[in-house]
C-alpha cells in the first residue's frame, strides 16, 4: 500500500490525493453498476422461476450476457424529446435520479476500514442524500408534459415524502441504541451484548431488540424504492408507465439504473443498521465483507420475492399504511426504546 502511495505521489505530485479518491470512487461505482446489471437478470430469473417459467436463457449460457445486450440496445436507441416538453429539465431529470443513488455510497462502510469517507454524521448524510432522489421522478413527470407522467410524479412525491418519515423514525431508534450517527460505530455497537459474549452475535444485532422498527424500515424501504407492491408511480395498468412514460434510450435506462442502484443501497443500509453489516453471525467465524454481501443478497432477494408475490397497493391504502399504521408504531416504539434505555434493563451499555 505504501509503495502504491509513493508511486502515485511520484507521478501525480500534489494532486495524488484527488486522483486516489477518484480511483476509489471508480472502485465502488464500477462493481455497483455490474451489480445493477446482474440484479436485473436475477430479477427476471427469480420471478421467472417463481412463475414456473425459465426466464431469459438465449443470450449466452443461462442468459448471462442478457444485461449487456439490454444495455447495448438502450445505448443505441434514439432519445425522443416530446415536442412540448421542457427540454432542459427533461434531460436533467434522469441525471438527478441517478446522482443521489451513487452519491450515497460515499459513506457506506464495507468493513470497519474499507469506507470512502468515514464521517461522523454519515447517517444524516445518507438521509439527506437519499431524500433528494425524488426530484428526478417529480421533474421527469412534470417536464414530459404528459398527463400520465405527471400523475405518476405526483403519486411518487406524496408516497416518498410519507414513507421517509417512518424510515427516519426507525433510523432514530437505531442511532439512539448505538449512540452514534457514524455507520461504522453503528455496526461496531452491534458486536457487543450478552448474546455476543456467548458467541451468538446474530442475536445481538439490532433486528431483535428493534424488531418492529426493522419491519417498518424494510417495508418503507420498499416503498421508498417505488418497488412492487408500492410501485404506484409506475402503475402500468392505470397510468401506463408513470413518470418515465415519455423516456426512451439511455435516458430511460438511467431511471432503471437509479432504481436498481437504490435497491442495492437500501439493502446495504438495512444490513448495516439492523443486520450487523460485515459482522459474522457466530463468534467462531471471522468477520468480513462477504457477510455484508450475503446479507445484502438476502434482502435483494426479498425485494424480488415481494414483486412476484404481492399485488400492487391501492393508492389510498398505501397512504393509510404510511401515516396511520407506521407513524404511530414508530412514535410508540421510540418512547419504548427511550424508556428501555433509561431503565435498569438497558442492554446497550
Partner 1 sequence: MDFQTLVFFFLSAILIVASLRVITARNPVHAALFLILAFFTCGGIWALLQAEFLAIALILVYVGAVMVLFLFVVMMLDINLDRIRQGFWNYLPLGAVLGILMVLEMGMVLGSKYFQVPAADAMIPAGISNTKAIGALMFTDYVYPFELASIVLLVGMIAAIVLTHRGPKKSKYTNPNEQVFVKAKDRIRVLQMPVEKD
Binding site for partner 1 (CB under 8 A): 86, 89, 119-121, 124-125, 127-129, 131-132, 134-135, 138-139, 142, 150, 153-154, 157-158, 160-161, 164, 181, 316-317, 320
C-alpha cell at 297: 443478497
Least spacing, CB of residue 172 vs partner 1, in Å: 12
State how far the Cα of 186 lies from the Cα of 309, in Å rounded to an integer.
33
Least spacing, CB of residue 86 vs partner 1, in Å: 8
> CB under 8 Å to 236, separation ≥6 — which residues?
none
C-alpha cell at 343: 431503565
| Nearer residue to partner 1 within complex by CB, 107 or 296 | 107
| Nearer residue to partner 1 within complex by CB, 95 or 121 | 121
Answer for the pair 302, 218: CB distance below 8 angstroms, yes or no: yes
Least spacing, CB of residue 24 vs partner 1, in Å: 19
| Nearer residue to partner 1 within complex by CB, 125 or 278 | 125
Q: DSSP character for 82?
A: P
| Nearer residue to partner 1 within complex by CB, 22 or 72 | 22
State how far the Cα of 286 lies from the Cα of 276, in Å rounded to an integer.
13
Least spacing, CB of residue 115 vs partner 1, in Å: 16
> CB under 8 Å to 148, separation ≥6 — which residues?
239, 240, 241, 242, 245
| Nearer residue to partner 1 within complex by CB, 124 or 215 | 124
Picking from 213, 99, 190, 131, the residue whose alpha carbon sits closest to that of residue 182 is 190
| Nearer residue to partner 1 within complex by CB, 42 or 124 | 124
| Nearer residue to partner 1 within complex by CB, 89 or 200 | 89
Dihedral in degrees, nearest 10, Cα atoms 252, 258, 259, 261? 140
Answer for the pair 308, 187: CB distance below 8 angstroms, yes or no: no
C-alpha cell at 192: 457487543
Least spacing, CB of residue 259 vs partner 1, in Å: 18
Least spacing, CB of residue 88 vs partner 1, in Å: 9
Least spacing, CB of residue 293 vs partner 1, in Å: 28
State how far the Cα of 323 lies from the Cα of 316, in Å rounded to an integer.
11
Amino acid at each position: 500500500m505504501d509503495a502504491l502511495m509513493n508511486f502515485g505521489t511520484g507521478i501525480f505530485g500534489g494532486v495524488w490525493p484527488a486522483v486516489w479518491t477518484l480511483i476509489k470512487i471508480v472502485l465502488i461505482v464500477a462493481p455497483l453498476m455490474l451489480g445493477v446489471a446482474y440484479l436485473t437478470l436475477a430479477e427476471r430469473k427469480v420471478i421467472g422461476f417463481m412463475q414456473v417459467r425459465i426466464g431469459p436463457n438465449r443470450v449466452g449460457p443461462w442468459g448471462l450476457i442478457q444485461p449487456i445486450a439490454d444495455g447495448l440496445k438502450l445505448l443505441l436507441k434514439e432519445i425522443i424529446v416530446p415536442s412540448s416538453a421542457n427540454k432542459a429539465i427533461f434531460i436533467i431529470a434522469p441525471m438527478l435520479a441517478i446522482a443521489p443513488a451513487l452519491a450515497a455510497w460515499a459513506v457506506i462502510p464495507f468493513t470497519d476500514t474499507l469506507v470512502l469517507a468515514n464521517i461522523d454524521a454519515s447517517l444524516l448524510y445518507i438521509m439527506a442524500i437519499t431524500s433528494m432522489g425524488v426530484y428526478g421522478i417529480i421533474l421527469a413527470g412534470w417536464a414530459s408534459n404528459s398527463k400520465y407522467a405527471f400523475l405518476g410524479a405526483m403519486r411518487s412525491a406524496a408516497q416518498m415524502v410519507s414513507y421517509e418519515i417512518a424510515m427516519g423514525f426507525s433510523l432514530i431508534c437505531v442511532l439512539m441504541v448505538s449512540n452514534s450517527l457514524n455507520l461504522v460505530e453503528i455496526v461496531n455497537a452491534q458486536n457487543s451484548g450478552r448474546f455476543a459474549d456467548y458467541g451468538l452475535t446474530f442475536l445481538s444485532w439490532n433486528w431483535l431488540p428493534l424488531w418492529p422498527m426493522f419491519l417498518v424500515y424494510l417495508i418503507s424501504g420498499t416503498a421508498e424504492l417505488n418497488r412492487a407492491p408500492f410501485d404506484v408511480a409506475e402503475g402500468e395498468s392505470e397510468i401506463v408507465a408513470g413518470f418515465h412514460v415519455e423516456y426512451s434510450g439511455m435516458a430511460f435506462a438511467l431511471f432503471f439504473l437509479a432504481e436498481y442502484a437504490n435497491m442495492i443501497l437500501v439493502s446495504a443500509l438495512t444490513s448495516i443498521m439492523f443486520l450487523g453489516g460485515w459482522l459474522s453471525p457466530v463468534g467462531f467465524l471471522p468477520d468480513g465483507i462477504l457477510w455484508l454481501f450475503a446479507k445484502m443478497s438476502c434482502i435483494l432477494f426479498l425485494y424480488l420475492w415481494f414483486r412476484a408475490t404481492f399485488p400492487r397497493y391501492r393508492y389510498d391504502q398505501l397512504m393509510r399504511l404510511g401515516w396511520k399504521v407506521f407513524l404511530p408504531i414508530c412514535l410508540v416504539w421510540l418512547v419504548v426504546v427511550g424508556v428501555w434505555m433509561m431503565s435498569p434493563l438497558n442492554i446497550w451499555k
